[in-house]
Amino acid sequence: MRAAGVELSDLATLEAESIHILREVAAEFEHPVMLFSGGKDSVLMLHLARKAFAPAPVPFPIMHVDTGHNFPEVIEFRDRVVAEHGLRLEVASVQERIDSGRIQVGHELESRNRHQTVALLEGIQQNGFDAVFGGGRRDEEKARAKERVFSFRDRFGQWDPKNQRPELWNLYNGRHKKGEHIRVFPISDWTELDVWRYLAQEEVDLPSIYFAHEREVVEHEGLVMAVNEFFPLPDGAEARIEMVRYRTVGDATSTGAVRSTATDYHSVIEETAVARVTERGATRGDDRFSEAAMEDRKKEGYF
Amino acid sequence: MASEMLRIATAGSVDDGKSTLIGRLLYETKSIFEDQLESIERTSEKRGDEQTDLALLTDGLRAEREQGITIDVAHRYFATPKRKFVIADTPGHIQYTRNMVTGASNANLALLLVDARKGVLEQTRRHALLSSLLRVPHLVLCVNKMDLVDYDQGIYDEIREEFTQFAARLEITDLGFVPISALEGDNVVTRSPNMPWFEGQPLLGHLEDVHIASDRNLVDNRFPVQYVIRPQSAEQRDYRGFAGTVVGGIFKPGDEVMALPSRRRSRIAGIDTPTGSVAQAFPPMAVTLLLEDEIDVSRGDMLCRPSNQPTANQTFEAMLCWFDETSSLRTDIPYQLKHTTKWVAAEVEALRYQLDVDTLHRDLEAGTLEVNDIGRVAIHTSSPLFFDTYRLNRTTGSFILVDPATNLTVAAGMIIGAAGEPAGETAAAVAEAPVATNITFHPSKLTREERWGALGTRGATIWLTGLSGSGKSTIATAVEHTLISAPVPQPAFVLDGDNLRHGLNANLGFSDSDRAENVRRVGEVARILAEAGTVSLVSLVSPFRADRDRVRAIHEEAGIPFYEVFVDTPLEECERRDPKGLYAKARAGEITDLTGVGSPYEAPSAPDLVTDPDLEIAVRQVIGLLE
Ligand SMILES: Nc1nc2c(ncn2[C@@H]2O[C@H](COP(=O)(O)OP(=O)(O)OP(=O)(O)O)[C@@H](O)[C@H]2O)c(=O)[nH]1
Ligand SMILES: [Mg+2]
């Protein structure tokens, strides 16, 4: 049977599936929280959450795992979004934990990627969150490609990739015991291109660093790094001013930019459609430790 | 750029080349990024592979790379100018069958791989059966590794023939075949010069063209309420929206809806979506329905049309796939069951049989289901579910079972129907049903007793008479539903006066003689249906005693039970309800001769039953007549 006008576009379908997941969690869990980094995936996720519950406000707080190594534009964006939409923001601070001695660091500018896990898990535990929305997408990385939408975490926040719950149809099983929690990935099935097309269609505001701008950069171990307090110019290297934008937003100590002239959505989409390198491959120092770097970090409780 | 999405799941035995095929598809459609390719090249080199192992593109876990097998589903995405594809690459190993099912549950199409050297294996059959039970609408059998059998057409034909025979015993609506080499790329994206004898399309062409227009049910309106939106703000104080995903039918503002379980009715006042109000909502849209009346509706309730409701029942029959390695199916403990947006406690009352995935034989003696077993069960829930058969609706017909001790998802089920219903299983199971060989019927001499005995049924006519709006149809429909969904179902059929006037009695008006003829015809039809073994539930004003008495007479003559039931609702109450607006029109003089207003009603002098005003009691009273 084929009735007129009952086809949904791919983006509308993805949107509907994500909203279903968001509502399911809001209905079944006592204390959900949404991770919000200010990156495009968390911006998308938050935008979907606002739509899922409109005209009521988003019925859960957001949490930022703050490494202290952020791009200032991103923090400014975060605070603006929180104020604009009247959201409740929790900050799980890595810096605070370093200052209080809970986290040991070798030197001030070393990667805080692994330390994020500690802050994240403590933030979850201290607030008693039982469901944690993450903006992970399966197209990002090979370990993420393996994860369920509802992903069970034991008391230590750990993921067991060899023992995931079956997940059929859209019947999600979020049951867990006290102290355990569920990571929920409502945008699992979106690709990088889908995200850009949708954000453009919805005219969603993003941190300015996602669009091409001039910046002082230096090429370092295959990444285009912005030179600033978090990434001082290495000895003997030479900085240049170039037009760049970011494809992902992580720590300023380890996230690279890409050379680009795309200053608006339309041109970013064009560039994304012909990109030959994955977003993480192009920009993330932290994923390069080993072949299974992401899987290992996820097992420990990473996003 | 907006385009249709096709969801694909791979299937087939371990090492038959599923992951390699997906890798090949991604590679040849230029969907692999340079850094991904470099990374798997490095890994392949380190492992000493002869050539880059494309399976590494989906086998992303450390354990998978070490063992060279797939353990859990990987999702990959690619697009061609014609379509967008979401691929779930599933494991072939029997130990991980639950992960295969996870990947296949939402698929439009399954790619079932067979190693040309090994042919159809037990695991091939298991996955074909699972795809058929999950009602994946399209199946393509890929005979892989043709490079290892010299691209021999004979081998391909043999496998094709063997599988066709097996598939004939399953329900597979669309079955295709392609001979391929995933490793070398033959017939994957481009036609293979090594197999000029193959006349079909290469695989990708098939995937781009397969018609998936509607796997959706657009007929039966179903809206499981997921979440109630009630803003607490001053300006939105009156907003009360029922959020959820449409899983069947098309909802429009103005439509009458019924909420289950309360059975309260209202109309759709508006449909809100993330992008504003819309004129219609259909699957799989996530929307918020606004109703005209303040009726009690909450999560787990179902909105549908009053005239087209799902089955509401606490017991039903289902095919169950058991997933849990650490426990087996027990009939003595309660499980938690999730169906649409509702959790209920559930007991598996009986294991009817276990299905042998290899031979499709039904083992009626089986005592339990263990990991990866499939069987038919009877389930009893703590409160009624509102369901359809899985055949009709993949969402309202499916559920999962969770062990409350471990919180693990231990099984998934597909509803066949209310208890005792025979329909809806795989054709395989039906084909295996014992054929009665010891009864010889003499068509011309078949007696009523023989007919009813063989069918396990008893025909009768229940004649509900009363004023317009007295509730005859409501009672008749409820009785029909109860009889059909009983543990031992009794065929029943409502003959509604209004409905019959559209067809059988379309040429009749409301004069006394036309009314008499109307009653005569309906009486005859009721008698014939009853003769055939059905309980005829007649809902007809039938105002004149003499007409009704004639109907009783033809039943008595035929020896068929006939019960006259008087739905004695006072005229004032009928007029207050006025469901069709007839009384208003009569009072306004727009129609004359309405029974009770302009035309007399002769109440039965000796009815078999006068119904109670309470619907539930009335239903029980009517059913009591039959016992
Ligand atoms: N010669 C040849 N070898 C193939 C072909 N397809 C796959 N193989 C090889 O078969 C082996 C298994 O391939 P996989 O793709 O991992 O098999 P799979 O079906 O994904 O296995 P599981 O996911 O573990 O069930 C690998 O060594 C592949 O290189 C083919 O067309 N020809
Ligand atoms: Mg595989």
Q: How far is the CA of B107 from the centre of ligand 1 (A)?
A: 22
The answer to whether residues B306 and B396 touch, using CB atoms and an 8 Å cutoff, is no
Here the tokens at position B383 are 């409160």
Say whether A23 and B105 touch across the interface (CB within 8 A): no
Q: Are residues B411 and B480 in the same domain?
A: no
Q: Of all residues in chain A, what percent carry a pLDDT higher than 70?
A: 95
Per-residue pLDDT at A290: 59
Is A4 near chain B, with CB under 8 Å?
Answer: no
Give the range with max mean pLDDT: A158-167, A170-179, B90-99, B595-604: A170-179
Q: Which ligand is nearest to the CA of B188?
A: 1
Q: Are residues B10 and B130 in the same domain?
A: yes
Banded pLDDT at A292 (limits 50, 70, 90):
low
| Distance of alpha carbon A219 from alpha carbon A238, whole angstroms | 9
Residue B421 has pLDDT above 50, yes or no: no
CATH number at residue B260: 2.40.30.10
Which residues in chain A have Cβ-Cβ distances shorter than 8 Å to B338? 171, 173
For residues B433-443, average pLDDT: 36
Say whether A54 and B274 touch across the interface (CB within 8 A): yes
Per-residue pLDDT at B275: 79
Which residues in chain A have Cβ-Cβ distances shorter than 8 Å to B404? 175
Q: How far is the CA of B19 from the centre of ligand 2 (A)?
A: 4
Q: In DSSP terms, which residues pair with B140 in a beta bridge?
A: B111, B176
Residues 202-221 of A with CB under 8 A from B: none
Per-residue pLDDT at B223: 98
The answer to whether residues B223 and B244 touch, using CB atoms and an 8 Å cutoff, is yes
Per-residue pLDDT at B22: 93
Domain A2-189+292-300 has what CATH class?
alpha beta
| Distance of alpha carbon A16 from alpha carbon B273, whole angstroms | 9
Say whether B239 and A55 touch across the interface (CB within 8 A): yes
CATH number at residue B502: 3.40.50.300
Out of B304, B322, B346, pick the residue that ends a domain. B304
pLDDT 10s digits, B468-514: 999 999 999 999 999 998 888 899 999 998 888 888 888 788 777 78
The residue whose CA is least distant from atom 7 of ligand 1 is B17
Return the H-helix or E-strand segment holding B345: strand B342-355
Q: Which domain holds residue B395?
A: 311-429
The residue whose CA is least distant from atom 30 of ligand 1 is B145
Q: Are residues B264 and B323 in the same domain?
A: no
Per-residue pLDDT at A285: 64
Say whether A20 and B226 touch across the interface (CB within 8 A): yes
Is it true that the peptide bond before B284 is cis, omega within 30 degrees of 0? yes
Structural domain includes residue B329: yes
Q: Are residues B596 and B477 in the same domain?
A: yes
Q: How far is the CA of B135 from the centre of ligand 1 (A)?
A: 26
Q: Select from B10, B15, B97 the residue to mutate for testing ligand 1; criterion: most ligand atoms less than 8 Å from CB.
A: B15
Is A282 near chain B, with CB under 8 Å?
Answer: yes
The residue written with tokens 């000029």 in the block is: B196
For residues A56-83, average pLDDT: 92
B542 part of the active site: yes
Q: Chain A residue closest to B66 (CA)?
A: A292
pLDDT 10s digits, B509-521: 877 778 888 999 9
Which residues in chain B have Cβ-Cβ distances shorter than 8 Å to A55? 229, 231, 233, 236, 239
Look at residues A280, A272, A265 and name the one whose alpha carbon lies nearest to residue A198.
A265
pLDDT 10s digits, B100-119: 999 999 999 999 999 999 99
Is A76 near chain B, with CB under 8 Å?
Answer: no
pLDDT 10s digits, B21-69: 999 999 998 888 888 888 888 888 888 888 888 888 888 888 888 888 8
Say whether B86 and A189 touch across the interface (CB within 8 A): yes
Banded pLDDT at A257 (limits 50, 70, 90):
confident
Treating both helix axes as pointing N-terminal to C-terminal, what angle do A72-85 and A40-53 enclose, rounded to 10 degrees?
0
The closest-lying atom of ligand 1 relative to the alpha carbon of residue B23 is 15
Say whether B285 and A165 touch across the interface (CB within 8 A): no
Q: In DSSP terms, which residues pair with B353 in a beta bridge?
A: B376
Q: How far is the CA of B127 from the centre of ligand 2 (A)?
A: 14
Q: In DSSP terms, which residues pair with B494 in a beta bridge?
A: B537
Q: Chain B residue closest to A48 (CA)?
A: B274
For residues A288-295, average pLDDT: 65
Q: How far is the CA of A162 from the centre of ligand 1 (A)?
A: 21
Instruction: Please give, rounded to a whole number of angstroms, the shortest distance from the CA of A253 to a CA of chain B.
Output: 21
Banded pLDDT at B151 (limits 50, 70, 90):
very high
Structural domain includes residue B80: yes
In this prediction the pTM is 0.77
Structural domain includes residue B437: no
The residue whose CA is least distant from atom 27 of ligand 1 is B15
For residues A207-227, average pLDDT: 87
Per-residue pLDDT at A127: 93
What are φ and ψ of residue A11, in 5° steps? -70, -40
Q: What SS3 class is residue B565?
A: strand
Question: Which residues are close to ligand 2, an ion, with C-beta < 5 A?
Answer: B 18-19, 70
Q: What SS3 class is residue B501?
A: coil
Q: What SS3 class is residue B102?
A: helix
Out of B257, B276, B304, pick the residue that ends a domain. B304
Q: Are residues B271 and B407 in the same domain?
A: no
Q: Are residues B508 and B589 in the same domain?
A: yes
Residue B213 has pLDDT above 80, yes or no: no
* A49-58, A261-270, B54-63: least confident range: B54-63
The answer to whether residues B580 and B478 touch, using CB atoms and an 8 Å cutoff, is no
Look at residues B73, B326, B29 and name the one whose alpha carbon lies nearest to residue B185.
B29
Banded pLDDT at A70 (limits 50, 70, 90):
confident
Per-residue pLDDT at B444: 47
Q: In DSSP terms, which residues pair with B317 in a beta bridge?
A: B378, B417
Q: Are residues B530 and B582 in the same domain?
A: yes
Q: What SS3 class is residue B26?
A: helix
Say whether A11 and B84 touch across the interface (CB within 8 A): no
Per-residue pLDDT at A2: 36
- ipTM score assigned to the predicted complex: 0.89
Q: Are residues B232 and B259 in the same domain?
A: yes
The residue whose CA is least distant from atom 4 of ligand 1 is B183
Say whether B232 and A162 touch across the interface (CB within 8 A): no
Per-residue pLDDT at A91: 92
Instruction: Report the mean per-residue pLDDT for chain B.
Output: 88
Amino acid letter, A49 = A
Per-residue pLDDT at B207: 94
| Distance of alpha carbon B310 from alpha carbon B295, whole angstroms | 20
Look at residues A168, A171, A148, A165 and name the one whose alpha carbon lies nearest to residue B324.
A165
List Cα–Cα distances, B368 to B134, B351, B381, in angstroms.
21, 7, 19
Q: How many residues does chain B have?
A: 627
Per-residue pLDDT at B291: 96
Residue B424 has pLDDT above 90, yes or no: no
Per-residue pLDDT at A201: 94
DSSP letter string, B383-437: EEEEE--TTT-TTTTEEEEE-TTT--EEEEEEEEEETT--TTS-HHHHHTSPPP-
A vs B, Cβ pairs < 8 A, gives 189
| Distance of alpha carbon B458 from alpha carbon B563, whole angstroms | 14
Catalytic residue among B266, B536, B539, B542: B542
| Distance of alpha carbon A178 from alpha carbon A220, whole angstroms | 45
Residue B162 has pLDDT above 70, yes or no: yes
Q: How many Å separate Cα B359 from the centre of its chain?
A: 26
Q: Residue A137: how many CB atoms within 10 A of its CB? A: 23
Q: Select from B10, B13, B20 the residue to mutate for testing ligand 1; criterion: most ligand atoms less than 8 Å from CB.
A: B20
Amino acid letter, B211 = H
Q: Sketch the domain layout of chain A as residue ranges.
A: 2-189+292-300, 195-283
Banded pLDDT at B445 (limits 50, 70, 90):
low
Q: Are residues B387 and B299 in the same domain?
A: no
Ligand 1, CB cutoff 6 Å, lining residues: B 12, 14-20, 53, 55, 69-70, 91-93, 113, 144-145, 147-148, 181-183
Q: How far is the CA of B132 from the centre of ligand 1 (A)?
A: 24
Q: Chain A residue closest to B281 (CA)?
A: A6
Per-residue pLDDT at B529: 95
Among A146, A277, A299, pick the best mutation site for testing chain B contact (most B Cβ within 10 A). A146
Per-residue pLDDT at B596: 85
Structural domain includes residue B234: yes
- Tell me how many domains chain B contains: 4
Residue A281 has pLDDT above 90, yes or no: no
Residue A1 has pLDDT above 60, yes or no: no
Here the tokens at position B250 are 């098309």
Say whether B398 and A171 touch across the interface (CB within 8 A): yes
Per-residue pLDDT at B17: 93
Among A130, A139, A142, pick the best mutation site for testing chain B contact (most B Cβ within 10 A). A142
Per-residue pLDDT at A84: 93
Banded pLDDT at B140 (limits 50, 70, 90):
very high
Per-residue pLDDT at B431: 33
Q: Are residues B60 and B165 in the same domain?
A: yes
**Closest Cβ–Cβ partner in B42, B227, B285 for A23:** B227
Q: Chain B residue closest to A192 (CA)?
A: B77
For residues A141-163, average pLDDT: 90
Q: Are residues B251 and B275 in the same domain?
A: yes
Look at residues B130, B121, B62, B119 and name the one whose alpha carbon lies nearest to residue B96.
B130
Banded pLDDT at A63 (limits 50, 70, 90):
very high
